């Protein structure tokens, strides 16, 4: 028996919504008896694409986080549902359309907010990893099959040769909200973190300052970089809400120092030497 999981490589996602549409094609207005009631054409996103914009003009980055149900080992949505929400032996968390009928409160039990209420069917609904297809011999859900960039990596967590096990073995995958402590079986590579960027200019010539040393020092971080051909620098993957000192120095110029706090991703503008 397989134990299914997914890794979402955020660095590969271009926000094309193919996964979302494949899910719609598979589930909208068609029931899969024993698995799911029909998904309505609008108002639900079993595979939700969450856009994340970071930075300020002209240094802006756009990421997309593809977010299905996390198929938690300890699903918060299942408590008190009398079997309305249950976990299969392969780890897939399911909502039984009959037993969970009328239990509107399950929508708010999920801290990831990936359960949607279907008024017409009188039941909560969410991603099933296309369990009806896996049981019929498919190797992956429709969203994974439809993704053109390899963002969605799916397979058997107990098979060390499966794509998902190999992605997890990279050590780069993390839980979206570890503070929930639900044993989430969907993990993410490259979740967008805060960055600090800026541009360095020589005051006397008004030229881009190329090859200037920029150092960032914080509680647990020391990073050094050089400005590029446009005088730009950037420090990625910084923790949120921490203070950092940025030092910009070049021979024969006064050193510039700035204190920044990573309340968000920051573009510091022109720093004049």
Task: State which of residues 23, 114, 123, 271 lies at the interface with ligand SF4 (CB under 6 A).
Answer: 114
Residue 16 three-state SS: coil
Q: Which stretch binds ligand SF4 (CB under 6 A): 12-20, 37-45, 155-163, 195-203?
A: 12-20
Question: Contact with ligand SF4 (CB under 6 A): which of 77, 133, 197, 212?
Answer: 77
Choices 66-74, 208-216, 227-235, 249-257 (CB under 6 A): range interacting with ligand SF4:
66-74
Tokens of 54: 């970071």
Query: Is 232 in a helix, a strand, or coil?
Result: strand
As measured in angstroms, the least distance from the Cβ of 106 to ligand SF4 is: 8
**Cβ-based neighbours of 224, under 8 Å, separated by 6 or more:** 213, 214, 215, 216
Which segment (31-39, 146-154, 221-229, 263-271) binds ligand SF4 by CB under 6 A?
146-154
Q: Cβ–Cβ contacts within 10 Å for residue 255, how many? A: 11
Interface residue with ligand SF4 among 6, 37, 72, 212 (CB under 6 A) is 72
For ligand SF4, the closer of residues 12 and 261 by Cβ is: 12
CB 19 within 8 A of CB 107: no
Quote the CA–CA distance of 206 and 268 in Å, as a whole number. 17
Rule CB under 6 A: say whether 19 interacts with ligand SF4. yes
Contact between 45 and ligand SF4 by CB under 6 A: the answer reads: no
Task: Choose which of 5, 55, 75, 231 interacts with ligand SF4 (CB under 6 A).
Answer: 75
Pairwise CA distance, residues 116 & 114, whole Å: 7
Tell me the C-alpha distance between 126 and 68, whole Å. Answer: 8
∠ at Cα 248 (244, 254), nearest 5°?
Answer: 130
CB of residue 80 to ligand SF4, shortest distance in Å: 13
> Cβ 50 to ligand SF4, closest distance in Å?
10
Please select the residue that binds ligand SF4; options are 28, 76, 157, 268, rule is CB under 6 A.
76
- Nearer of residues 16 and 101 to ligand SF4, judged by Cβ: 16
Q: How far is CA 132 from CA 121, 139, 141, 163, 193, in A?
A: 19, 11, 9, 21, 36
70 scored as a contact of ligand SF4 (CB under 6 A): yes
Distance CA 155, CA 139 (A): 7
Q: Which of 5, 7, 18, 167 binds ligand SF4 (CB under 6 A)?
A: 18
Distinct helix (H) and strand (E) counts, the chain: 5, 18
- Asked if residue 93 binds ligand SF4 (CB under 6 A), the reply is yes
List interacting residues with ligand SF4 (CB under 6 A): 13-19, 49, 64, 66, 69-72, 75-77, 93, 110, 112, 114-115, 126, 146-147, 149, 151-152, 182
């Amino acid at each position: 028996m397989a134990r299914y999981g997914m890794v979402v490589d955020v660095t590969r996602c271009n926000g094309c919504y193919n996964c979302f549409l494949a899910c719609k094609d598979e589930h909208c207005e068609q029931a899969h008896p024993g698995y799911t009631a029909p998904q309505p054409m609008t108002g639900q996103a079993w595979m939700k694409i969450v856009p994340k914009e970071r930075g300020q003009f002209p240094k802006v980055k756009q990421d997309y986080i593809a977010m299905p149900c996390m198929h938690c080992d300890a699903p918060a949505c299942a408590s008190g549902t009398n079997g309305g929400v249950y976990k299969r032996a392969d780890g897939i968390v399911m909502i039984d359309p009959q037993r969970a009928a009328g239990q509107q409160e399950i929508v708010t039990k999920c801290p990831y907010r990936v359960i949607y209420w279907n008024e017409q069917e009188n039941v909560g609904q969410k991603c099933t990893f296309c369990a009806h297809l896996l049981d019929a011999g498919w190797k992956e859900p429709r969203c994974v099959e439809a993704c053109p960039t390899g963002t969605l990596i799916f397979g058997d967590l107990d098979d060390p040769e499966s794509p998902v096990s190999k992605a997890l073995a990279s050590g780069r995958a993390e839980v979206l909200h570890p503070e929930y402590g639900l044993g989430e079986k969907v993990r993410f590579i490259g979740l967008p973190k805060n960055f600090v960027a800026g541009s360095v200019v020589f005051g006397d010539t008004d030229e881009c300052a190329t090859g200037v040393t920029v150092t960032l020092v914080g509680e647990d971080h020391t990073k050094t970089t050089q400005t590029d051909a446009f005088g730009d620098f950037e420090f990625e993957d910084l923790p949120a809400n921490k203070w950092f000192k940025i030092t910009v120095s070049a021979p024969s110029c006064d050193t510039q120092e700035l204190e920044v706090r990573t309340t968000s991703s920051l573009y510091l503008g022109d720093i004049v030497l």
